[in-house]
């Protein structure tokens, strides 16, 4: 049993759940929520803070500031409390109440943006607010998870090698796309690996990360209202977009089998199962990354009134929850030709 003196020193990263008995398809879910920050964002937060310390950007009187929909804000709150820094999280009205309260309990200040930007999201407004703060006082230090290479380097050094050590025969990896730090770190690692691994990015309908029309998104964690600066699509084989209703039904299907996961996990699992069902490839080794657990979503995804107000009374129809995602007939991949780029097919 480890003995630690700093909360970020502990992170259980070797736990996988086989979803075969729940969905009828073998998918290994890498659980990243078992640390004191409660999510995979601890890895990126720790990498970015330690890099800023090495470079002399962070000083004793510095005030960390970051734009976050929730999980990175909690991770930075925890690290800031441990290291003695002040931290201000700029979030928006979609951030779960429990997440905001958790950041405040850790001693952080939280500013909530309520006005939408031009892409029907809050990200642009959050970033504008952070930039104004930094211009007003040079004590503010913005780590900028959207552009900081430490975001993807953390997963290149940790998450991807952890998966590789457990699954030397890995065929396909499903990764949710937000800032794309996890996606890019894993994709870069497996591009150099000993065998080809298909990298499938899972995004939310309404996100413009990979192009397309912006739309309403109420579940924080995945999706962007701008193109992620870290994204390099040449490392991505395919993009799957998931409706929020499918995310919710997948979360509830998992919960009814005793696994309480967050919205990002529900999105990734829904997209992965859709992909696996359409291909129906026996013997494939598939892994998906679960960024967090579900306790922070009790007043949203797992709250009936919230769900029915936003998605209608039939959102938790028993038959649809039992499916967990839309039924689609299996369709084979189109063959690659000299005129058809083999990478990045989007449905």
**Which residues, at least 6 apart from 115, have a Cβ–Cβ distance to it below 8 Å?**
122, 125
Q: Does residue 327 sit in helix, strand or coil?
A: coil
CB of 154 closer than 8 Å to CB of 200: no
| Residue showing tokens 């909530």 | 112
**Euclidean distance between CA atoms 48 and 153, whole angstroms:** 9
Paired strand residues for 200: 174, 238
Q: What are the two backbone dihedrals, phi and then psi, of residue 118, each rounded to the nearest 5 degrees?
A: -65, -20
**Euclidean distance between CA atoms 323 and 321, whole angstroms:** 5
CB of 87 closer than 8 Å to CB of 192: no
144 has catalytic annotation: no
Catalytic residue among 41, 43, 67, 68: 41
Strand order in the sheet with 345-346: 16-18, 28-31, 286-290, 172-176, 198-204, 238-242, 345-346
Q: Shortest CA distance to 266 belongs to which of 97, 19, 61, 13?
A: 19
Given its phi and psi angles, is residue 111 left (phi above 0), alpha (psi -120 to 50 degrees) or beta?
beta
Q: Shortest CA distance to 37 belongs to which of 54, 12, 17, 65?
A: 12
264 has catalytic annotation: yes
CB of 144 closer than 8 Å to CB of 118: no
Q: Does residue 91 sit in helix, strand or coil?
A: strand
**Euclidean distance between CA atoms 128 and 255, whole angstroms:** 38
Catalytic residue among 144, 207, 225, 264: 264
**Which residues, at least 6 apart from 218, have a Cβ–Cβ distance to it below 8 Å?**
94, 244, 300, 310
Active site residues: 41, 264
């Amino acid at each position: 049993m480890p003995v630690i003196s700093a909360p970020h020193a502990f992170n259980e990263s070797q736990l996988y759940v086989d979803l075969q008995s729940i969905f009828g398809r073998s998918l290994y879910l890498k659980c990243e929520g078992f640390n004191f920050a409660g999510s995979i964002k601890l890895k990126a937060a720790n990498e970015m803070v330690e890099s800023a310390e090495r470079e002399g950007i962070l000083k004793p009187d510095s005030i960390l500031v970051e734009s976050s929909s929730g999980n990175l804000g909690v991770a930075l709150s925890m690290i800031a409390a441990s290291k003695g820094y002040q931290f201000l999280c700029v979030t928006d009205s979609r951030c779960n109440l429990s997440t905001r309260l958790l950041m405040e309990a850790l001693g952080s200040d939280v500013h909530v943006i309520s006005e939408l930007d031009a892409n029907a999201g809050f990200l642009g407004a959050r970033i504008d607010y952070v930039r104004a703060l930094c211009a007003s006082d040079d004590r503010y230090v913005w780590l900028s998870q959207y552009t900081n290479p430490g975001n993807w380097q953390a997963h290149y050094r940790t998450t991807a090698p952890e998966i590789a050590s457990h699954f030397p025969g890995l065929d396909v990896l499903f990764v949710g796309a937000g800032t794309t730090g996890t996606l890019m770190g894993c994709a870069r690692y497996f591009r150099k690996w000993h065998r080809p691994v298909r990298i499938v990015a899972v995004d939310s309908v309404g996100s413009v990360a990979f192009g397309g029309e912006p739309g309403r998104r109420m579940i924080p964690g995945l999706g962007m209202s701008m193109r992620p600066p870290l994204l390099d699509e040449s490392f991505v084989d395919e993009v799957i977009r998931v409706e929020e209703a499918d995310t919710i039904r997948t979360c509830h299907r998992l919960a009814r089998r005793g696994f309480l996961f967050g919205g990002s996990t529900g999105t990734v699992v829904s997209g992965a199962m859709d992909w696996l069902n359409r291909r129906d490839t026996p013997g494939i080794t598939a892994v998906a990354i679960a960024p967090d657990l579900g306790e922070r979503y009790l007043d949203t995804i797992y709250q009936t009134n919230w769900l029915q107000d936003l998605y209608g009374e039939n959102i938790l129809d028993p038959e649809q929850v039992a499916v967990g995602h839309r039924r689609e007939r299996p369709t084979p991949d189109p063959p690659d030709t000299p005129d058809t780029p083999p990478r990045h097919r989007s449905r």
